[in-house]
């Protein structure tokens, strides 16, 4: 099990990757990224951040 510091660092890295993906790929892929974080992260802050990126991406696509 990762200690708290390692876990935060790991989450920050994966969140950055998913943020990059979410701003460049389809809403579908973005949703998958959010789902991965839902199962990966215990912190609602991380889930919320990814969700907002995905939502913004989705809304941009459907306009």
User: Looking at the chain, how many residues does it have?
Assistant: 63
Q: What pTM, to 2 d.p., does this model score? A: 0.29
Query: Is the predicted pLDDT of residue 58 greater than 60, yes or no?
Result: yes
- The per-residue pLDDT for range 4-29, each reduced to its tens digit, is 556 566 656 666 666 665 556 555 66
Query: Is the predicted pLDDT of residue 43 greater than 60, yes or no?
Result: no
Q: Where in the chain are the domains?
A: 4-62
Tokens coding 5: 């510091």
Angle between helices 27-40 and 44-62 (to 10 degrees): 170
């Amino acid at each position: 099990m990762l200690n708290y510091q390692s876990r935060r660092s790991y989450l920050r890295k994966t969140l950055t990757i998913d943020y990059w993906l979410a701003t460049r790929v389809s809403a579908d892929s973005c949703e998958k990224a959010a789902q991965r974080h839902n199962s990966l992260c215990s912190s609602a802050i991380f889930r919320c951040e990814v969700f907002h990126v995905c939502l913004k991406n989705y809304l941009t696509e459907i306009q």
